[in-house]
Chains A and B, each alone.
Chain A
Amino acid sequence: MQYLVSVLNDSNELATPEEDAAIDAFNDKLQAEGHWVFAGGLGAPASATVIDSRNGEPVMTDGPFVETKEWIVGFWIMEAPDLGAALRLAAEGSKACNRRIEVRPFL
């Protein structure tokens, strides 16, 4: 069972060196324990482009699809047997990157 663990950000501040170190340590643990699938950081919402090809020709719009105070700054894809295990890992991840986190199952 895989879970998308999204990291929520509400400012334009990037991770501090301490946060980066903690994230590295957490990633090492995920890999060592077999939970690691993939992880990555994302550009700010200002760097997003929305594409709509539903009517044939693609229409591009500058900016994110929804304006919110919080946005996703990065994510993990984790392998875990159930939500309980995923939540325990996510709790550690939230501490490591010092941000709120959303957990959602892959279907």
Chain B
Amino acid sequence: MSAADAGEAGEALARTHRQEWVRVVASLARRFGDLDVAEEAAAEAFAVAVERWPHDGVPPNPGAWLTTTANRKAIDRIRRENRRDDKQQEALMLRDEAPPEPLGAVDDDRLRLIFTCCHPALAMEARVALTLRMVGGLTVPEIARAFLVQERAMARRITRAKAKIAQARIPYRVASAEDLPARVSGVLAVLFLVFNEGYLATGPYTDPLRPSLTAEAIRLARLVRDLLPDDGEAAGLLALMLLTEARRTARVADDGALVPLGEQDRSAWDTALIAEGHRLVRERLASGEAPGRYQLLAAVNAVHTSARRAGDTDWRQVVALYDQLVRLDPSPVVALNRAVAVAELDGPQVGLALMEPLGEALAGYRAYHAARAELLRRLGRSAEAHAAYDAAIGLPGNAAETAYLRRRRDGA
């Protein structure tokens, strides 16, 4: 085998893993009704591919090759472990291996897998872990690293979630029409959590940005959006992620400090992602449907990314969008973000007055103290600004944020 062949096989493997993992796992899960079997057989099939493809060449239809190999592995495993009674085993082996008739958009194996992994009867952290493992194809060590947990603890979490799915018979299907909207919002919440963990990592000692995690969240959001094209919030979440991701590289300075939106080098923003995000936001606006939370947040980000310079930002539009968001979600965090926008429009004094009543609810929230410090600084109330920066720095957050807050405090 030449080095070129090996490189080609490696690339094909990586691409196939990205494109086919969820399809392979989902079809096995449907056929064998067991997430454990599905996942292990898929992983084994990819391991065989890693061994063979560099020597034998990449098969003409890599996805079909993997599905066939994984099916065989699953049957071997069931035989070996004898985990089912003979009759059931026989039924599984005899079943037609031909792919079923193409199903409608919502009746898709992949979507079924996503809904199973994001079932509300599972704890949120289990949903996130299981989705990244089963749908995203991330390895357990990768997921453990992303969420700063011990590998063994993460493996246990995933095993426990799979056991609950099997034992409590969490149905392997898309929610029924009546509770679909509620279930979709749970799926989107899982993806948003993954994205945010990559965009603003929580730990003080990790990289502030983890592009592999944001990329994975975007990939899964695209998948959900493709599978549920009529869901406005799925489109909104994808747009929100794209418009946020577009600013990633401009967001951390060479010295590792966070660069706030107003100070970012806008020429470093990713114009392709912005164009795609804007397209989705316009599409949602044109639909005439009342926007949900993600669509409104996406629209806010569309306003920010439309301004060539920070000074050109249409803050009136941003405040109007936050007004709508407050009506949907009257939480203190949303009120804080609205107050920040109002401060830009009507001045720091007005923004500060809106923030004061939130102090009790957000005492432990870093962004609250940071936003307040910024407005106090602008008003020349240095001593109070200093104290507010100190309060923010004292709360947990990531390293880039801390570096930025320190610099601000020392300049205040």
Cα–Cα distance between A82 and B172 once the two chains are bound (Å): 9
Contact between B121 and A87, CB atoms less than 8 A apart: yes
A107 at the A/B interface (Cβ < 8 Å)? yes
* CB of B178 to closest CB in A, whole Å: 9
In the complex, which residues of chain A have a beta carbon less than 8 angstroms from the beta carbon of B176?
Answer: 84
Contact between A84 and B168, CB atoms less than 8 A apart: no
- Flag A81-107 by CB within 8 Å of B: 1 or 0 each: 111110100000000000000011101
B175 at the A/B interface (Cβ < 8 Å)? yes
Contact between A82 and B167, CB atoms less than 8 A apart: no
In the complex, which residues of chain B have a beta carbon less than 8 angstroms from the beta carbon of A50?
Answer: none
In the complex, which residues of chain B have a beta carbon less than 8 angstroms from the beta carbon of A107?
Answer: 167
A81, A83, A105: which has the most chain B beta carbons within 10 Å? A83
A1 at the A/B interface (Cβ < 8 Å)? yes
In the complex, which residues of chain B have a beta carbon less than 8 angstroms from the beta carbon of A105?
Answer: 167-169
Q: Give chain B's interface residue range (CB within 8 Å of chain A).
A: 10 to 19
> Would you call the interface of chain A mostly helix, strand, loop, or mixed?
mixed
> Would you call the interface of chain B mostly helix, strand, loop, or mixed?
loop
Q: A83-B121, A83-B171, A84-B171 are in contact. List 6 more A-B contacts (CB 8 A).
A: A81-B171, A82-B169, A83-B119, A84-B175, A104-B168, A105-B167
* CB of B168 to closest CB in A, whole Å: 4
Q: Which residue of A lies closest to B121 (CB)?
A: A83
In the complex, which residues of chain A have a beta carbon less than 8 angstroms from the beta carbon of B169?
Answer: 1, 81-83, 105
B170 at the A/B interface (Cβ < 8 Å)? yes
Cα–Cα distance between A87 and B169 once the two chains are bound (Å): 11
In the complex, which residues of chain A have a beta carbon less than 8 angstroms from the beta carbon of B170?
Answer: 82-84
Q: Which 5 A-B pairs have the closest CB atoms?
A: A82-B171, A105-B168, A82-B169, A84-B171, A83-B168
Cα–Cα distance between A84 and B174 once the two chains are bound (Å): 11
- Flag B111-138 by CB within 8 Å of A: 1 or 0 each: 0000000010100000000000000000
In the complex, which residues of chain B have a beta carbon less than 8 angstroms from the beta carbon of A87?
Answer: 121
* CB of B175 to closest CB in A, whole Å: 7
In the complex, which residues of chain A have a beta carbon less than 8 angstroms from the beta carbon of B168?
Answer: 83, 103-105
A84, A85, A87, A107: which has the most chain B beta carbons within 10 Å? A84
Cα–Cα distance between A103 and B167 once the two chains are bound (Å): 12
In the complex, which residues of chain B have a beta carbon less than 8 angstroms from the beta carbon of A1?
Answer: 169
In the complex, which residues of chain A have a beta carbon less than 8 angstroms from the beta carbon of B121?
Answer: 83, 87
- Flag B159-192 by CB within 8 Å of A: 1 or 0 each: 0000000011111010110000000000000000
Subset of 7 A-B contacts with CB under 8 Å:
A82-B169, A82-B170, A82-B171, A83-B169, A84-B173, A104-B168, A107-B167
In the complex, which residues of chain B have a beta carbon less than 8 angstroms from the beta carbon of A103?
Answer: 168
Cα–Cα distance between A41 and B370 once the two chains are bound (Å): 54
In the complex, which residues of chain A have a beta carbon less than 8 angstroms from the beta carbon of B119?
Answer: 83
In the complex, which residues of chain A have a beta carbon less than 8 angstroms from the beta carbon of B167?
Answer: 105, 107
* CB of B107 to closest CB in A, whole Å: 16
